[in-house]
Structure 1
Amino acid sequence: MNIALLGYGRMGKSIETIALDRNHNITLKATSSTTTFDFSETDVAIDFSIPSTAVNNIKKAIEAGVPVISGTTGWLDHYDEVLDYCKSNNGTFLYASNFSLGVNIFFEINSRLSQLMASVEGYDTEIEEIHHTQKLDAPSGTAITLAEQIIDNTRYKGWTLNKPNSDELHIEAKRIPEVPGTHEITYNSEIDSISIKHTAHSRQGFALGAVIAAEWIKDKKGIFSMKDVLNIG
């Protein structure tokens, strides 16, 4: 399979290594300064760029008829715009806030736990996420996904990075050098605490999941998620 890398930072380079190990070819390595995109030999594009270029990258690939896997966060104010563009161009698109296979299992656990906790009184919920200091957005897309799952199932109406109101879910975002990604959800009461936690040991899990998603989506049409790739939920 021929893969275009839209974004060639640390994640792009990790994806390249895994893709080559799995006998794929890299046909394009686009950076934030790239203005010309040649998708003529490309089967799938994988976007791990930066928020300011992600929308343009995704649209250019869709316009060229190339399926897009995107893991860039911080651009989701334009998410519906991109979905509409994909549909109007009969394109193929898959966005995930986190491509780690373990994290996507963690999402399912988080959703189920929040459903169980919704019927129990006396617990306050908080999320802590820790990433490396080069991560540009806060909170992480993964933390937002976790928060939205909890909000869907509980009394919370929204999330905040600041001191929360009674109906807001607090997310504590920390930036520490060389931390690939840690997410912990805690339910606290006067009696006890319940926590679930996912700790990434390297970026390899994110990169592997993105390549697996690219392998799965080749030759498909439509809008998908990692649930489709993993056949879960």
Structure 2
Amino acid sequence: MTGSWVREREPAAGSLNGVARVVVLDYGSGNLRSAERALQRAGADVEVTADHRAAMEADGLVVPGVGAFAACMDGLLAAGGDKIIDHRLAGDRPVLGICVGMQVLFDRGVEHGVPTEGCGQWPGVVERIEADVLPHMGWNTVQAPEGSTLFAGIEPGTRFYFVHSFGVRKWELAASEAVAPPLVTWAEHGEPFVAAVENGPLSATQFHPEKSGEAGARLLRNWLGSL
């Protein structure tokens, strides 16, 4: 499995004709078509595929995911998605994970007491959230840090759409003087959990921007504008 990746991104060269070319990675899990439509509405040229060359050459790669952590990891490994993610990040090529597509970027997930190894791009454990009502399903606010690119122009208190029972309850990556620290956005449902991360070319959201109305559309436009 790939090791943890933490690195400051170099400036992007820009997209062809001003239109970002984005691949939504098809590995058998995720809201592929809803993500495709949302990205198209946000102005991207979108392809849904598992083709490695297309995924490597695109300006941006979106890794969706719904369901169980272990099932998503099985599909991702079978499609070679972990290697695509790792190779893109090694070349400073942007990746956006959504929902379980964010969770699999961490070291491991634990479901029903059974641990599953993740992609290991960030340290941390995806585990069941301690809350009276699960799944956490519906609209919730987030607390984005200053300097966020994803949440630029989005008013504090804006709500995004979540559907999950598991999440990252503790951010475990220590700050380093060698690289810019990741920007971590938090939300709360019973307890705080990580709602989004921005770490150079690697970004991710626990919520579904493609289901979050105008706020989600703005976030996707912000991400596309950074490619």
Q: TM-score range by the shorter chain?
A: 0.3 to 0.5
* Greater C-alpha radius of gyration: 1
Give the TM-score normalised by structure 1: 0.38
More helix by share: 1
